[in-house]
Structure 1
């Protein structure tokens, strides 16, 4: 297995990466503002699954392909970006009109949709795959069994990222809960949809 001091160094770096907002955090914030805590936490769970898939793929060799193939990198980032932009646009479309102040709740993004969306965000985020290939490799000892070391690194990154994502989700959902006025709900849903679209635009702007 990995020595404790190396694991602590890796975990510390993962925490730094986790607290820096990226497309994943932006989508979670968007779900929190537009649809509430339950949906945001479902997005956190989906992001954890997506991160696990992306990191597993990176260790299986997909990272090397993305690092050398501009076409593969571009295709992957546009798939993820397009998916986010569509979800954000739908959230805005469902927010209703500001002039409609009825107490009837608007259709929001479902937890299931947020979960599936963020699986795609995590899986189709090429930077995550490339980061894990470049960053995790020095922590793997070639003279020790590969799979236990890889599993520990994947579990560490996923757990720490899920923790920081959860903190973002809880903070954003609490802030959105203070806005109980119907007009405010419309704008929070629109802001949430805009955040998800912004995450898609950020992903589209990724450069190798």
Structure 2
């Protein structure tokens, strides 16, 4: 079990880093503005659920693979970028449909949850970041390293839930107001789709530049 002073320092550091915009936060903002508070919070729940796989992977040493293998890292990065583009294109193609028939019902909570889950899980930078930060707060003399990593990993996910949850509430407030005007529905969906496609392309081509440098 990490000592409380170390754990408190860890929480402060993680909260500060979680406020930096990344793929998860951009998706939450797009969902919140485009579809409202409830959908954005479901998306945040998906991020947290991905931790049920990421934290054990970190504690068991699987995360090291993505730090040492450029091929594994790139493959997961491309998969995540492709998924974002796929979701964004679906929004754009189906934006002309009424809310009740929107393709795959992306206004549903489960759809937002799944998309948040896969967006976070397919981002290798999450695991690599955890692998770089968490061991700095582990003391082998205080018990099992795996248990300490698991505690820190769950704490990090909880901090992310709080930060992204706050972002979801703020952006969702705007989305809830916009949703009262049905004639804006198509533009809301196009906004979500455009943001997700742009983010996916940025991750895709940004990764290509990183690999070729």
**TM-score > 0.5 by shorter chain:** yes
* Residue 64 (structure 2) aligns with: 64
Deviation of 1:157 (Å): 0.5
* Residue 171 (structure 2) aligns with: 172
Give CA deviations for 1:143-162 in whole Å, capped at 9, x if unaligned: 22224312220221111100
Moved more, 166-175 or 59-68: 59-68
Deviation of 1:11 (Å): 0.4
- Alpha-carbon contact 1:58-1:129 (below 8 Å) kept: yes
CA distance in 2, matches of 1:111, 1:198: 23
Aligned residue runs from structure 1 range 143-154, under 5 A: 143=141, 144-154=143-153
Asked whether 1:136 is paired with 2:130, we answer no
CA distance in 2, matches of 1:40, 1:30: 8
Deviation of 1:129 (Å): 0.6
CA distance in 2, matches of 1:81, 1:177: 28
Give CA deviations for 1:103-143 in whole Å, capped at 9, x if unaligned: x5362512111111111111111111111111100111112
CA distance in 2, matches of 1:177, 1:40: 11
Tell me, which stretches of 5 or more residues in structure 1 are unaligned?
Answer: 98-103
* Residue 105 (structure 1) aligns with: 99
* Residue 33 (structure 2) aligns with: 33
CA distance in 2, matches of 1:13, 1:198: 29
* Residue 101 (structure 1) aligns with: none
Tell me, which stretches of 5 or more residues in structure 2 are unaligned?
Answer: none
The alignment partner of 2:99 has SS state of coil
- Alpha-carbon contact 2:32-2:172 (below 8 Å) kept: yes
- Alpha-carbon contact 2:89-2:193 (below 8 Å) kept: yes
Give CA deviations for 1:53-81 in whole Å, capped at 9, x if unaligned: 22332332233211221110110011111
CA distance in 1, matches of 2:155, 2:7: 9
* Residue 203 (structure 2) aligns with: 203
CA distance in 1, matches of 2:61, 2:182: 50
Change (3 A) 1:129 1:81: same
- Alpha-carbon contact 1:24-1:199 (below 8 Å) kept: no
Computed over aligned residues only, the root mean square deviation of the Cα atoms, in angstroms, reads 1.9
- Alpha-carbon contact 1:54-1:124 (below 8 Å) kept: no
- TM-score normalised by L of structure 1: 0.88
